[in-house]
Every structure is written in structure tokens, then in C-alpha cells.
Amino acid sequence: MLRNLLRLLAESDGIQSVSTLARNLNVSDELVQLMIADLTWRGYIQPANTNFTYHCNSCPTRKICASRNPAKIWTVTQKGYRLINLK
């Protein structure tokens, strides 16, 4: 299940809502949050370093954009890619 989540994140460039990931994996949002925490702790993913404040202030989609909440954007690490054999 963790590899499936990791593969989804890798294939979507890490931009997915917890709800979308849960729906794709057919599990609860809470379980996805726990899996993300586990993958982060193990070093397979990391929160994206986002700093969009300057550009986002004038953006009409700023209230719904995933980039405004770094917890919704994850970067798959090299270790993560090796686990799922994508790089």
C-alpha cells in the first residue's frame, strides 16, 4: 500500500489532495495521512519547499491552490524513486 501511494505521488509530481489519494487507493483520508507521515519519516518523500507568498497574493485561485499549503505538496526523494524503481 505504501508503494502504491508513493507511485501515485511520483506520477503526479506530488501534487494531490489527501482526499484524491484516499479515493485512488480506496482507503480513508486518515490512513493516507498516516502513510504520508510514515513515508516522510522513512525518507521516501519530503514536503516541498514552497514559498509562493509574493506571487500568490494576487492570484484568483489562491484560496484553493495546493501550493498555499505545503502539507499538500510532496517531493519523492531519490530513495523513494529507488523503492518503486522509477529512476
- How confident is the model over 1-32, as pLDDT tens digits? 999 999 999 888 767 788 889 999 999 999 99
Mean pLDDT of all residues in the chain?
Answer: 80
Calpha distance 55→76 (Å, rounded): 25
Q: Following DSSP, what letter does each residue of the chain receive, concatenated?
A: -HHHHHHHHHHTTTB--HHHHHHHHTS-HHHHHHHHHHHHHTTSEEE-----HHHHTT-TTTTT-GGG-GGGBEEE-HHHHHHHT--
Inform me whether the pLDDT recorded for 43 exceeds 70.
yes
Q: What is the mean pLDDT of residues 44-72?
A: 64
- What proportion of the chain, given as a percentage, has pLDDT over 90? 45
Question: Between 1.10.10, 1.20.120, 3.40.390, 3.30.460, what CATH number should domain 2-84 receive?
Answer: 1.10.10
Residue 45, pLDDT above cutoff 50: yes
Contacting residues for 2 by C-beta, under 8 A, at least 6 apart: 35, 38, 39, 44
